[in-house]
A and B are shown apart, each in its own frame.
Chain A
């Protein structure tokens, strides 16, 4: 069909409209050139053309399009660039957070360029130079041994070091706490982003349903997704979702992007947003173990018995038992015969004051019912909540049904009603429906004659036969006694005894009159009987009963025929269909499921590098030994402080020896002394088995290397009760024991009054220089950077043991002998020490590796911390630089697709303006032409 006479006006009008819309789109693009996240829009046009040929279309006719149609607006966006950008943004977020954290640690630990002016110069570091100050003071003490002021100098230098160590420890603790707060805020931020994206999804969905492209909301959503990708590496996908009546709308799904290198782990693909459903992240809290009754299969504590892992029952003696109905137990021989019972939590305790409070506070002692008051899980594990919509309704996913055939009896028993059960263990709803499926096989009566006059018991109003009394003509039954009284002569005793009823009531089942009256004529009729009806004429039946289908047709009687379709149909089949409606559930993320800012901050809070427990390496993160966060530096500092204090304490304790470094005891030498009046002297201690006690066999002030002790000596120690707390023979126990003074010849010395004199076997000297508390001399709990203090005894006065060596014939070391200072204190400045990660125990961290993490001098350990930190920081900085560079490059590429460019828009302006002008010209031309046609055609002057 060609265009009508005035159709060309429409063509021009559409062109004007299209150009005008194009100008508006261009204007919108120009207006939003500075709008963050704005995606350039484009007007979608197409040529208007009525498709199909006219039936009587002339082959000589020409079909022309009818103008232009604007059918939508598109955003110019490249999804692949979005994926690249978001992936790189996650990397930028990860490296940025890591670098920021490391820089904060460096703010505490990095001493490059620090350290004020000293006599030796400047920038020697703080802790680093303080170690040297200590060794310098020790050197001075060595040169001036015996003068208390030099002991005080060492003490002052050590006091300063302990202050620095404590200060640095507090600094790291502060950074840890700050990072915890930032981590919490960022988890909240992610949750806000997820909620906002979910809400936008809902709005866009609504708009989609109503046919609105909602481009601006999509831009806003893209911005939020970009922002989310900085915190978590995500996988964004779009799919179409049916919304009924054949309509489909776009659905956005955001999942974690498979960050976990362990291919067997799938929690790293957890769905965060599924259309209008979204999840929330939460940091796991420390649970109050006493408040949970059961344990789930994955070790999670629970009070839901249904969720508990089922285990075989045992009695209190560990025998497998079967639990009888009356609650009694019977011991069984086979594990398989034992009853299955929910696994109980061994820590469950109702007697404590914490009963019922599910969480523990940060003090580790107080329970609380509030999650917000609870302490964070030390590993800061993240749990992704179930997916819920705006109203908190959980997303359920209905799976495909499984169909099984059932018996008719089962079907009848079910009543054909669907059932739904909820499994309390996982809240999965199981829906069961029962189906009766009729057979398609129907046996028709080949002799059926619709017009038969004898085959039907009733007659319709039109006189045809019928089997259905309802379709038959109605014969109303009048009551002969109506209007009469029983006294009347014509009172019919067989009719209803009711003069007020016009009709006789008919039993609607038997269709026979009763002896009751009624005024409702609907109750008072019987079908009109076919008087020609022959009960043996079966041509009135449409079907042969299915039960009689195999009978010889010649033997069929009326009883074998039916007009009931169901009786003619084959046997129905009964089915049961089971659906599972699975609710979205919480997902406990694995240690490496995340990547991005959140994970970097989490690792800053949790990673302890070489201090990680073997359990962590085995079960949580196989790369844990290589990852270093704040705990690594805290523990390194603790280890340094602990090793320093322990070595200094060890150096300052021991027993007096002779010049051969054999531990001595005091004996009476009547010929000794300076005046030949006799006196005490010393003698090396030799125990049975000719074992001479040497300081080289000492492992520490309180420990002896028993592997060097002969068996005979061990036996003697044991026999004489010189044993340690474990009942094992112990040389130290002997050295600390009380003995009577002997003469040189081994006989017992008696004083002038004839009494024995008692002394300790060895003469112990010194004590702890450092303690875990300035008010005591205790070094247990272990000394750490946070608690290292000058011991009470040292604070009270000089304590450094200058020498343990008594010169030959003397019972005390020489007044300025500094053997111990040179051998055991100054040597610490040169000695290579092994730093074992398991040296300092921490609550809840078991099975830490013993293998030395570093071997070197005390100051080297300090430098090592700085070097490790420097290397990690340098790598993070370079990675961030690269990632940021790439991100900027990709973002620019995105802009090259989605950004507004003035030249382009100027071209569009020109193009649409010209098109507009041309359309107007077209309108004018058509007007002019039609004017000629209408007003001037055929007129003659």
Chain B
């Protein structure tokens, strides 16, 4: 049966459909104005979630890009520093201005007259190396590993390895109980011994007579009559009493007279002390400072997977040839001295040759500065031998640094490539966001025009929704 259409029914249907047309038109207007494919989760929950996920990826990539950019800059600074180091330690014999060039001159100079000056120059190179490696990027020291707030390389007064202020050898006198003291007043009082005593001498006038000395300085064998003095400590060794050593290896109490040692993050780089080595081993090999620069950050067993992050800890010791001491044997060839006498070949073995190029350079400078200012001769044959050993060590250390330099170059290149990769990723993600979030303007406008057309048509229909009825044709006249 055909439904009976009534006035109110027709109006209701029209109102309902007009409402829908208006809604569709408004929606298409919003779409055109915002350009967005959806404006709420409710319109398309899955795509909205996908959009936010992409946006998160974009933001993450952006942060990684920013951090990578920062890291690239840090590595640029590092690269520059290491390049400077590399120039100083360049083992090319023709590299004028390098420390090695000065060393070769000191080694091969026929008259050796310039060794003092060369020594000073080389010492200055050592200082330069420290300065290069103490460079900063921003507020951080570039080569301080994970301790970037503190200056990594410092010169410290050379400590006396034998310094033992509490040992018995540190006291001049002995007390009555056998313990040591440096206060004569506290010391045990004993008869003054005759240093020239010879038991065979019987002549009292002979200075060798008598075990003891009388107050007038003559000898006597009667201890009771002898002059009294504080009891001296026969084990007394001045070497253990001074905390520092001069550059010549002499003990001293004055730290300003002391020689200097290179410390990295508070640890002597030229030390064979197991405690120091253990620390430096960890710092140079074990210490990491990871950053997330988009390598697929991942956790494994509760710890971050090292391959998924990037270690930006640059350790100065690693770029200065290392740390610790090594053994080297040097043979000085047979030669003639200034008197024309033949000095046979001599072999020296040193077990305390530093591996660190700064320590090496500094010691070379010190040795050269000890050379005779008159003829440039080494202060001793041992100095000469040590100089040669240090030069060998310098060369080897230099090679190690070159390897690190190459490694750093590779790392810088990787970071730059990663930078490009991150940019590319961000671009791709952004493209995806655009394709998901935003509508094609042409489609949006077409939709809008169609919606408007429908709406206008609906309005026109509205004018004739109430058709003429029989009422309009009735005539009872």
Contact = CB atoms under 8 A, between A and B. Distances in A.
Interface of A: 33-34, 102-103, 106, 110-113, 120-121, 123-125, 128-129, 132, 135-136, 139-140, 142-147, 659, 661, 669, 671-672, 674-676, 696, 803, 807-810, 813-819, 822-823, 826-827, 829-831, 859, 863, 866-867, 869-871, 873-874, 877, 885, 888, 891-893, 895-897, 899-907, 909-910, 913
A410 B275 CA distance: 114
Contacts of B4: 896-897, 901, 904
A823 to B, nearest CB: 6
Given A128-B52, A829-B60, A822 B45 contact: no
A113 B287 contact: no
Given A135-B60, A659-B286, A813-B146, 18 more contacts: A106-B42, A123-B36, A139-B291, A144-B138, A144-B140, A147-B149, A696-B301, A808-B281, A808-B282, A815-B148, A822-B290, A823-B304, A827-B297, A867-B41, A867-B45, A885-B16, A901-B469, A909-B471
Given A816-B140, A888-B13, A909-B474, A863 B149 contact: no
15 contacts: A112-B40, A123-B36, A674-B156, A814-B146, A815-B146, A816-B149, A819-B289, A866-B48, A869-B41, A874-B45, A885-B16, A895-B6, A899-B8, A906-B469, A910-B470
B393 interface: no
Interface in B162-206: 163
A125 B437 CA distance: 13
Contacts of A903: 469-471
Interface string B337-371: 00000000000000000000000000000000000
Tell me which of A113, A661, A895, A905 has the highest count of chain B C-beta atoms within 10 A of its own C-beta. Answer: A895
B377 interface: no
B64 A139 contact: yes
Contacts of B52: 111, 125, 128, 859, 863, 866
Contact of A822 (B5, B42, B139, B304): B304
Given A106-B42, A830-B298, A873-B42, A143 B148 contact: no
B13 A892 contact: yes
Interface string B63-87: 1101100110000000000000000
Contact of A827 (B150, B287, B304): B304
Contacts of B71: 143
A745 to B, nearest CB: 15
B147 interface: yes
A231 B337 CA distance: 120
A120 B59 contact: yes
A873 B43 CA distance: 9
Given A827-B304, A871-B45, A873-B42, A817 B281 contact: no
B40 A106 contact: yes
A830 B294 CA distance: 12
A874 B43 contact: yes
B59 A106 contact: no
Contacts of B138: 144
Contacts of A873: 40-42
B40 A110 contact: yes
Main DSSP-derived SS at the A contact region:
helix
A126 to B, nearest CB: 11
Contact of B283 (A103, A807, A893): A807
Given A814-B145, A817-B289, A871-B45, A896 B5 contact: yes
Contacts of A808: 278-279, 281-283, 286
A906 B474 CA distance: 8
A124 B147 contact: no
Given A144-B138, A815-B147, A873-B41, A888 B469 contact: no
Contacts of A139: 63-64, 66-67, 291-292
Contacts of A897: 4
B60 A675 contact: no
A135 B41 contact: no
B99 to A, nearest CB: 27
Contact of B7 (A124, A669, A899): A899
B9 A895 contact: yes
Contacts of B62: 120, 136
B292 A106 contact: no
Contacts of A870: 40-45, 48-49
B38 interface: yes
B354 to A, nearest CB: 17
A106 B42 CA distance: 9
The 3 closest A-B pairs by CB, nearest first: A870-B41, A899-B6, A870-B45
B46 interface: yes
Given A120-B62, A897-B4, A899-B6, A143 B41 contact: no
A913 B476 CA distance: 9
A883 to B, nearest CB: 13
B144 interface: yes
B12 interface: yes
B442 interface: no
Contacts of B59: 120, 124, 129, 132, 136
A672 B59 CA distance: 47
B38 A146 contact: no
A866 B42 CA distance: 9
B286 A895 contact: no
Contacts of B38: 112
Nearest to A830: B297
Interface in B124-174: 138-140, 144-150, 156, 159, 161, 163
B272 to A, nearest CB: 13
Given A143-B67, A809-B282, A906-B470, A132 B45 contact: no
Interface stretch (B115-123, B223-231, B261-269, B450-458): B261-269
B53 interface: yes
Given A830-B299, A870-B41, A877-B42, A810 B279 contact: yes
Looking at B156, B292, B471, the one whose CB has the most chain A CB atoms below 10 A away is B292
Interface string B1-45: 001111111001100100000000000000000101011111111
Nearest to A917: B476
Nearest to A876: B42
A674 B268 contact: yes
Contacts of B299: 827, 830-831
A798 to B, nearest CB: 13
B100 interface: no
B333 interface: no
A607 to B, nearest CB: 18
A143 to B, nearest CB: 5
Contact of B3 (A142, A830, A896, A900): A896
B335 interface: no
A80 B53 CA distance: 51
A830 B159 CA distance: 49
B292 A826 contact: yes
A805 B64 CA distance: 25
A123 B37 CA distance: 13
B56 interface: yes
B302 interface: yes
A901 to B, nearest CB: 4
Nearest to A888: B16
A110 B67 contact: no
A808 B279 CA distance: 5
A870 B421 CA distance: 35
B67 A142 contact: yes
A113 B438 CA distance: 10
Contacts of A112: 38-41, 43, 48, 51
Q: Which of B8, B55, B268 has the most CB of A within 10 A?
A: B8
B474 A822 contact: no
Contacts of B48: 112, 866-867, 870
Contacts of A901: 4-7, 469
Nearest to A111: B52
A862 to B, nearest CB: 8
Contacts of A124: 55, 59
B41 A106 contact: yes
B58 interface: yes
